[in-house]
Amino acid sequence: MKKRFLSALLLLAVAMPVAAQQYGDPDETPKGAVIKRDENAKPEQRYANMPDEAVPYRRFTKPYYDWFVREDTLQYNGAADQRPNGDPAQLSEIAIGFMSPIENNPESIFGIPELHGAQLAIEEANARGGYKGKPYALKIHNESALWGASSTELVKMLFNENCWAMVGCVDGQNCHIALRVTLKLEVPIVDVGTTDRTVTETRIQWLLHNFPDDRQQGYTLADYVFKTLKLKHIGVLRTQTRYARIGVGEFNAEARRMGRQPILEVKFERGDKDFSHQLRMLRDAKLEGVVIWGEAAEAGLILKQMREMGMKQPVFGSSRIAYPQFLQIAGPAAEGVVLTSALDPTRQDPKWQAFREAYLQKFHEEPIDYAAYAYDGINILIAAIEKAGLNRGRIMDVLRDYQMKTYQGVTGTVYFDHTLNNISPVNFARVKDGKFEYWLAPRQAGHEGAAHTGGQ
Amino acid sequence: MKSTAKKTLLAVIVLLATTGFAWAQKPHLITRWENYTTASGMPDAKVFCVTVDGSRVWAGTEDGLVLIENGKVAKVFKPEDGLPHRAVMGIAVDKNTGDLWIATFGGVSHFSGGHFENFKNLTSGLLNDICYGIAVVDQYVWVTTTAGVSRYNTYTGEWTNWSEKNAPFHEPWSYGVAPAGDKIYFAIWGGGLLEYDVKGNYWKPYTDPDEEMEMVLFRNQGLVHIIVSNVAWNPDTKMVWASTYFGLSGYDGRNWHNYLTKDSGLASDFINAPKSRRNEVWACTDKGLSMLDYPTNTWVSYRPSQQKGQGEIEITWPNGKKEKLATPTALAHNYILNMDFQGEDIWVATAQGLSHGIREPQKEAQLYANARNHRSPGDLAPSHSQKGD
């Protein structure tokens, strides 16, 4: 009995330093002690270019199987390409379905610019001659706030309007419904606005997604808050929406895996004006920083009320806050806030500048990220149609070829992983002197694709 | 020493006995395929579902409902005939009345006496018009919709609905339904497998325990993935089988048994639907139709071969060794969406037509005899019992 006890003690004594070295406080862990890499080895297949700290269960075991890191992730084995091609001579137009929140939906502030971006791209394509002389036409459908109400839109696009593909989506739920329908009906979807990370985690071979998702935003923000600033006690304030619930998930997950689980997560409703109850809770929790996952209007008010209450903590937030409306509402209270941003609108490269000017001229407003990604999405799709012809299976084949490749658009360099999701690094936007200043977030190196995504 | 020798001898005897048993229990084979395509009167190449009702076979296609009788397409029903939508996703037969219940992308339809009675979201209590699975149990019709589960009481005309609002749906997007005696199982996209106890009126969810979309943490961890595409109940073994796009999961009420291509003879991890009876578990995958003979852990997969018109049978023996056999006919396509049993035969819905798979004992014996002549003794192994990792 005594011997067993001594052996157990000895084992514990030997194991403890190893455990401490591998799994201890990240601040005290020597560099490179968490995961060692062989310099000569092939780049590690790491889904979504995850930072080491975000890898689930990494401290305990290696998964039995990893998805989304292989070339056959979206391998298509169906017969869509064997369907007869559409004959442009028999068509008056080349229909492309479009679905985004346009009316009766609080997310129309993103959906309308998304529509405008798509319309601009269609107009330019038609100015170039359309498809074999036939104009492209957007068939516009509203993404309803009452989700489920939009469930039949893709069905109508195929059977009533003969659409060759669908572009759009802002809300993850509606996009999921369209995705499930298209698994059966086989209509390519170019998702240009969803941040919901799970949309591309289904192995359904009919969707390409270019808007920076919650994983990329969450990892970027978590890296900055916990690794760069080395904060430890964080609180989260988010809207009571699926966007924020799913959105903050990856930030929270990385935080938890680093031993930095947010101390408090409080919620508010879209349209709320008074946040004093939530802010008192956060103030009493003695936090070092606050993360807001929501939209510009509420975030602006939150900042104002926070500072009025004497809360001086640094504030961070998601990309839907990084708009001029936030600066207008928060005023000087916005100073120092750091947000993820899907776009750097101060870029000077010719593609962005040309798009910005054309958009301004047509719509008399500055383009936002949703407009730019929609513009790129339509252009990606039109190039695919022009390469493949009027066959939905072959159009999707061309889109699937973007796997582990880049696309250079007005949004910058977009890099698609094995799930056809854009895993390019996102931007940061910091408020300085009442304006946003942007910089590209650094990414961890060593993974497959990292070199294309700003890995350092 | 003597004792060790005795033990070894005994082990060899047991091994030989079990291998002999495994050989004697070799799975039956489908040796002939008859296909129904647009050339033979199907309204569309893509067949989403198939349901056998005695000698009649019903198929749901992208352009209508098809009745097959006496080996030919007997009738095609389209929206102009009263069907609520051309895309037919699920078909169920009411065994008491002989009526048909049909799930479409435009609501649910009751086909009785040659007439369609349609139920839509706007005109009935149906949760949503995008309907996938359908089943009839006693007087109830169960429908899986994109917004949750709807139940129609054919006696009272009352609808009852379940979604994330009143039941433990992690997500409401429902795909498949499988009656299982006092219980009913539902395949939920992003919500795992849901079990509804009819008598107790309570729900029990089974979700992916690792809670991560991008991995399977342990082989037999529980449900293999949260995105469940369909579900089947085996009344003989009392096991429920869930298909996912990430492998196959079986639950015997105590343990989970998961299968991926990396550890089994499964044709693909992308599975549209399972089906199960006796010792057989069938998986409709995007790379062919797989059948697991559960007690012996022997897999048989069917797919069209590279040679036009010919079929390929791939047998994966319990020791992992694979063997390929050729058949003169083949499945209509490798992309399999659904299937049903008709006696010893099977009917298979594929992306390029409906296939009727026929067992021919004599040809099966011939195929096995040919295979046996080419197999080394080491190819046979005892039936396995799956280890939990």
pLDDT at B321: 93
Torsion of CA A47, A52, A58, A59, to 10 degrees: 180
Set of chain A residues whose Cβ sits within 8 Å of the Cβ of B127: 148
B343 CB-contact burial (10 Å; exposed 0-12 / middle 13-18 / buried 19+): exposed
The token pair that represents A229 in the structure block: 């600033």
Interface test with A, best of B47, B169, B189, B213 (most A CBs within 10 A): B213
User: Phi-psi bin for B192: left (phi > 0), alpha (psi -120 to 50), beta?
Assistant: left
Residue of B nearest to A47 (CA): B214
Flag whether pLDDT at A32 surpasses 90: no
Residue B371's φ and ψ, nearest 5 degrees, are -65, -40
pTM: 0.91
Flag whether pLDDT at A367 surpasses 60: yes
Identity of the residue numbered A251: F
Identity of the residue numbered A87: D
Query: What is the C-alpha to C-alpha distance for residues A122 and A139, in angstroms, rounded to an integer?
Result: 11
Residue of A nearest to B148 (CA): A148
Query: What is the C-alpha to C-alpha distance for residues B386 and B389, in angstroms, rounded to an integer?
Result: 9
Contact status of A83 with chain B (Cβ, < 8 Å): yes
Tens digits of residue pLDDT in A51-70: 989 999 999 999 999 999 99
pLDDT at A449: 56
Contact status of A204 with chain B (Cβ, < 8 Å): yes
Interface test with B, best of A64, A158, A256 (most B CBs within 10 A): A64
Nearest CA to B160 among B150, B172, B168?
B150
CB-closest option in A56, A79, A82 to B215: A56
Residue with tokens 């942007």: A438
pLDDT-based confidence at residue A373 (cuts at 50, 70, 90): very high
Contact status of A439 with chain B (Cβ, < 8 Å): no
Residue A294's φ and ψ, nearest 5 degrees, are -175, -145
pLDDT at A218: 96
pLDDT at B307: 83
Query: Is B7 within the bounds of a domain?
Result: no
CB-closest option in A56, A76, A184 to B212: A56
Residue A395's φ and ψ, nearest 5 degrees, are -60, -45
CB-closest option in A67, A151, A184 to B214: A67
pLDDT at B378: 44
Tens digits of residue pLDDT in A126-183: 999 999 999 999 999 999 877 667 789 999 999 999 999 999 999 988 899 999 999 9
Set of chain A residues whose Cβ sits within 8 Å of the Cβ of B122: none
Residue of B nearest to A242 (CA): B171
A 10 A CB-CB count for B316 gives 20
The answer to whether A372 and A360 are in contact (CB under 8 A) is no
B351–A151 C-beta distance less than 8 A: no
Tens digits of residue pLDDT in A271-284: 999 999 999 999 99
All domains in chain A, ordered by first residue: 80-212+346-424 (3.40.50.2300), 215-341+429-453 (3.40.50.2300)
Query: What is the C-alpha to C-alpha distance for residues A162 and A320, in angstroms, rounded to an integer?
Result: 34
Distance from CA of A432 to the nearest CA of B (A): 38
Q: What percent of chain A has pLDDT over 90?
A: 82
Question: What does the radius of gyration of chain B's CA atoms come to, in whole angstroms?
Answer: 22
Set of chain A residues whose Cβ sits within 8 Å of the Cβ of B217: 57, 61, 63-64
CB-closest option in B146, B333, B335 to A151: B146
Nearest CA to B30 among B315, B386, B377, B319?
B315
**Sequence-separated (6 or more) residues with CB below 8 Å from residue A397:** A76, A81, A388
* Secondary structure element (H or E) that encloses residue B357, with its range: strand B353-358
Strands B174-180 and B72-77: unpaired
Query: What is the C-alpha to C-alpha distance for residues B347 and B328, in angstroms, rounded to an integer?
Result: 18
A201–B213 C-beta distance less than 8 A: yes
Query: Is B254 within the bounds of a domain?
Result: yes
Set of chain B residues whose Cβ sits within 8 Å of the Cβ of A82: 45, 352
CB-closest option in A79, A198, A204 to B333: A79
Q: What percent of chain A has pLDDT over 70?
A: 87
Residue with tokens 């005897």: B13
Residue of A nearest to B128 (CA): A148
- What is the number of domains present in chain B? 1
Question: What does the radius of gyration of chain A's CA atoms come to, in whole angstroms?
Answer: 24
CB-closest option in A47, A152, A185 to B129: A152
**Sequence-separated (6 or more) residues with CB below 8 Å from residue A150:** A99, A141, A142, A143, A144, A174, A177, A178
Query: Is B235 within the bounds of a domain?
Result: yes
Residue of B nearest to A65 (CA): B216
Set of chain A residues whose Cβ sits within 8 Å of the Cβ of B334: 77
CB-closest option in B173, B214, B351 to A177: B173
A151–B129 C-beta distance less than 8 A: yes
CB-closest option in B85, B128, B217 to A63: B217
Query: What is the C-alpha to C-alpha distance for residues B113 and A273, in angstroms, rounded to an integer?
Result: 60
Query: Is B3 within the bounds of a domain?
Result: no
B352–A202 C-beta distance less than 8 A: no
pLDDT at B306: 86
First to last CA, chain B: 35
pLDDT less than 70: residues of chain B: 1-25, 372-389
The token pair that represents A425 in the structure block: 């690094």
Query: What is the C-alpha to C-alpha distance for residues B206 and B131, in angstroms, rounded to an integer?
Result: 22
For residue B335, the enclosing domain spans 26-379
B105–A61 C-beta distance less than 8 A: no
pLDDT-based confidence at residue A43 (cuts at 50, 70, 90): low
pLDDT at B328: 96
* Secondary structure element (H or E) that encloses residue B52, with its range: strand B47-53
Nearest CA to A135 among A150, A156, A121, A154?
A121
Set of chain B residues whose Cβ sits within 8 Å of the Cβ of A64: 215-219, 221, 389
Query: Is B14 within the bounds of a domain?
Result: no
The token pair that represents B301 in the structure block: 């997969």
pLDDT at B267: 98
Query: What is the C-alpha to C-alpha distance for residues B276 and B289, in angstroms, rounded to an integer?
Result: 13
First to last CA, chain A: 53
* Secondary structure element (H or E) that encloses residue B103, with its range: strand B100-104
Distance from CA of B255 to the nearest CA of A (A): 18
Interface test with A, best of B104, B215, B256 (most A CBs within 10 A): B215
The token pair that represents B385 in the structure block: 């019992």
A151–B147 C-beta distance less than 8 A: yes
Flag whether pLDDT at A42 surpasses 60: no
pLDDT at B383: 41
pLDDT at A308: 97
SS (H, E, C) chain A: CHHHHHHHHHHHHHHHHHHHHHHCCCCCCCCCCCCCCCCCCCCECCHHHCCHHHCCCCCCCCCCEECCCCHHHHCCCCCHHHCCCCCHHHCCCEEEEEEECCCCCCCHHHHHHHHHHHHHHHHHHHHCCCECCECEEEEEEECCCCCCCCCCHHHHHHHCCCCCCEEECCCHHHHHHHHHHHHHHCCCEEECCCCCHHHHCCCCCCEEECCCCHHHHHHHHHHHHHHHCCCCCEEEEEECCHHHHHHHHHHHHHHHHCCCCCCEEEEECCCCCCCHHHHHHHHHCCCCEEEEECCHHHHHHHHHHHHHCCCCCCEEECHHHCCHHHHHHHHHHHCCCEEEECCCCCCCCHHHHHHHHHHHHHHCCCCCHHHHHHHHHHHHHHHHHHHHCCCHHHHHHHHHCCCCCEEEECCEEEEECCCCEECCCCEEEEEECCEEEEEECCECCCECCHHHHCEC
Rounded to 5°, the CA angle B177-B179-B182 comes to: 135
The lowest-confidence range among A95-104, A216-225, B12-21, B112-121 is: B12-21
User: Phi-psi bin for A447: left (phi > 0), alpha (psi -120 to 50), beta?
Assistant: beta
Q: Where are the alpha helices (DSSP H) in B107-225?
A: none
Residue of A nearest to B106 (CA): A152
Contact status of A57 with chain B (Cβ, < 8 Å): yes
Rounded to the nearest integer, the mean pLDDT of chain A is 90
pLDDT at A455: 44
A184–B210 C-beta distance less than 8 A: no
Q: Give the length of chain A.
A: 456
Residue of A nearest to B163 (CA): A148
A36 CB-contact burial (10 Å; exposed 0-12 / middle 13-18 / buried 19+): exposed
Q: Any idea what the CATH number is for the domain that residue B229 is in?
A: 2.130.10.10
Interface test with B, best of A183, A203, A219, A391 (most B CBs within 10 A): A203
Contact status of A405 with chain B (Cβ, < 8 Å): no
Rounded to 5°, the CA angle A74-B212-B231 comes to: 70
Nearest CA to A395 among A73, A68, A75, A85?
A85
pLDDT-based confidence at residue A249 (cuts at 50, 70, 90): very high
Query: Is B136 within the bounds of a domain?
Result: yes
Query: Is B388 within the bounds of a domain?
Result: no
Query: Is B389 within the bounds of a domain?
Result: no
Distance from CA of B220 to the nearest CA of A (A): 10
